[in-house]
Structure 1
Amino acid sequence: MSCRADVLPILLVVFLPLTCVITYVMAVVLGHVDPEFPYISDTGTVPPESCVFGILLGLYAFICAFAIYIRYCQVAAYCFERRGLVRANKAALVLGLTSSFGIFLVANVQETNQIVVHLCGAVLSFAGIGVYFWFQTALSYMVKTIPGYCGCVRHFRLVLTLIHLCCCIATLVCGAVATSELKDHDARKHRFHWHSQDGGFLWHVASASLEWVVAFISVVYFLSFIREFGRFRFTFPQVIFTNMAQLNGTDNDSLMISTINKITKTEPNPTAECI
């Protein structure tokens, strides 16, 4: 069974907004957060929205990791003769998978339970994906033979990468200032209800809103792969019974291979393999 690869960016565009909107509405309706720009993690900290947040964002992390691997395979097929690009592509793969794992940590380890683990996941997800974007932007300028390649898209990716970097830095700075100016020092650790009379309120709003911008920039960046992903398909894992000959009571290898091919309905594919 095969599927067009451009379905992956589409799924990413659907899952993240769906996750954020559902958990935000649930958290606001139940009174767990204020409607004025809470952090994304705050909307998925308290049950029952934390359950929905963990499931949907966990699926998003899995799809994100799959799309990153597919992109690695795609670039590897067209830069295998250039060692520098091969190493950069592998480094991008490691960074991308690490950031996906960070997203998974954010989804399943709430800040009220393990704040250190949650923050580590947040750093891995935001910083890791940011560096991954820099690698992919550079590869977009260097590998121009990929089917579906468009020159204007590489410039678009560069702009998104710069905006992502600026917003990440601004989010951290504004969040640090908001925490330092918060009057209620006892509530610094877990603060889900900010009011206009609180110190650092405007800085908090700026930090939280920029965090949402960073998250959606990531989705838009993955969406830029849709044209290149649309030029090839990926095949789902195949189940091959290595003891088929024994089950049939024969040692004929050709009979086993013929039977397997009938089950999987595959044809030889001369394309390059990913290691």
Structure 2
Amino acid sequence: MFSLQFASDTGTVPPERCLFGIMLNVSALLGIATMYVRYKQVFYLNLEEAAILKLNKAGLVLGMVSCFGLCVIANFQKSTLIVMHVVGACLTFGVGTFYMIVQTILSYKMQLTKKSVFRIRLVVLLWCAASIVSMFISSVILYSGWYGVDLIQKLHWNSNEKGYSIHMTSTVSEWSLAFSFLGFFLTYIRDFQKITLHVVVQLDGYSLNCTNPQFTDEPRQPISGNL
């Protein structure tokens, strides 16, 4: 019978562990870039709204912490240092959920007439919350000791084993939680269609070795290009 594994179980042994770490580190970097662009978008659309600006800053901090947790998951595998792995998971999914809450509130406050994006994000947020509750309850039951010890390091399950159904519930909930996060980021597509990014490089000297004080007082021509 088919047995589903936890997301972390797919990256416990080499070479899968190496690819797992690379993938999550790259995902964390892309997540930070996405959250920063979203932060700047909200900032420039609400320059005179103090409450929204404070909420926006809080969202950025929460998002950065969540991405840091993803790096912890990537570099502290479940089979090597389980405590740090769990800490990373709590930062990623726990703090990440608060990031989703902040962005959902911002969507409600910013879209005064058409609230379709807010409704979509609210549905995804509820999906995320339901996955967290389901995963937490099933994990507590599974690792309570009723079904054996050291189950947290167990990678392969048989359908005839005691606790298999609880394991499957916990596993499906974890994958569901991960996909809810991905789904939330996909809701940014429509907002980001209204953004054009540019890279601007400004020279502060005539050479790489020194800076001419007079040079900084002269009009400088930015070196720019599309991103």
Query: Do the structures match in fold with TM over 0.5?
Result: yes
- Does the CA contact (< 8 Å) of 2:3 and 2:159 recur in 1? no
Residue 221 of structure 1: how far off its partner (Å): 0.9
Asked if 1:234 is matched to 2:197, the reply is yes
Aligned amino acid, residue 120 of structure 1: V
Q: C-alpha distance in 2, partners of 1:72/1:249?
A: 35
Q: Which of 97, 106, 115 is equivalent to 2:73? A: 106
Asked if 1:196 corresponds to 2:159, the answer is yes
- Work out whether residues 58 and 107 of structure 1, in 8 Å CA contact, stay in contact via their aligned partners in 2: yes
For structure 2, list consecutive stretches of 5 or more residues without a partner in the other structure: none
Percent sequence identity is: 31
Taking a change above 3 Å as real, the CA distance of residues 167 and 249 of structure 1, as seen in their structure-2 partners, is closer
Task: Give the distance between the partners of 1:92 and 1:157, measured in 2 at CA.
Answer: 15
Q: Which residue of 2 aligns with 1:222?
A: 185
- Over 3 Å counting, the alpha-carbon distance change for 1:84 and 1:181 in structure 2 is same
Taking structure 2 as the reference length, the TM-score comes to: 0.89
Instruction: Work out the CA distance in 1 between the residues paired with 2:188 and 2:212.
Output: 49
Q: Say if 2:95 is the partner of 1:133.
A: no
Aligned mate of 2:142, from 157, 178, 182: 178
**125-134 or 149-158: bigger deviation:** 149-158
- 1:257 equivalent in alignment to 2:217: no
Q: Give the structure 2 partner of residue 78 of structure 1.
A: 45
AA of the residue aligned to 2:96 = I
What is the correspondence of 1:1-275 to structure 2 with a 5 Å cutoff?
36-144=3-111, 151-180=115-144, 183-185=147-149, 187-236=150-199, 238-244=200-206, 251=214, 257-258=220-221, 261=222, 264-265=223-224
Q: 2: distance between equivalents of 1:251 and 1:234?
A: 31
What's the RMSD between the two structures over aligned residues?
2.6
String of CA shifts for 1:198-255, please: whole Å, max 9, x gaps. 322101101101111111111111111101101112223x444422179799955577
For the residues of structure 1 that align with 2:24 and 2:216, how far apart are their CA atoms? 45
Q: Contact 2:62/2:98 (CA < 8 Å) preserved in 1? A: yes
Higher relative contact order (CA 8 A, sep 6+): 1
Q: Which runs of 5+ in 1 are unaligned?
A: 1-33, 268-275
The CA distance in 1 between the partners of 2:105 and 2:213, in whole Å, is 54
Asked whether the 8 Å contact 2:204–2:215 carries over to 1, the reply is no
Change (3 A) 1:64 1:252: closer
Task: Describe the superposition over 1:135-172 as per-residue Cα deviations: whole angstroms up to 9, x where unpaired.
Answer: 11110010138xxx952111011111011011111111
The code of the aligned residue for 1:213 comes to S
Q: CA deviation at 1:180?
A: 2.3
Residue 188 of structure 1 and its aligned partner are, at CA, apart by 2.6
* One-letter amino acid of the counterpart of residue 228, structure 1: D
The size of the alignment, in residue pairs, is: 225
TM-score calculated relative to the size of structure 1: 0.74
Change (3 A) 1:257 1:180: same
1:177–1:200 CA contact under 8 A, matched in 2: no
**Which consecutive aligned stretches of 4+ in structure 1 deviate over 4 angstroms post-superposition?**
245-256
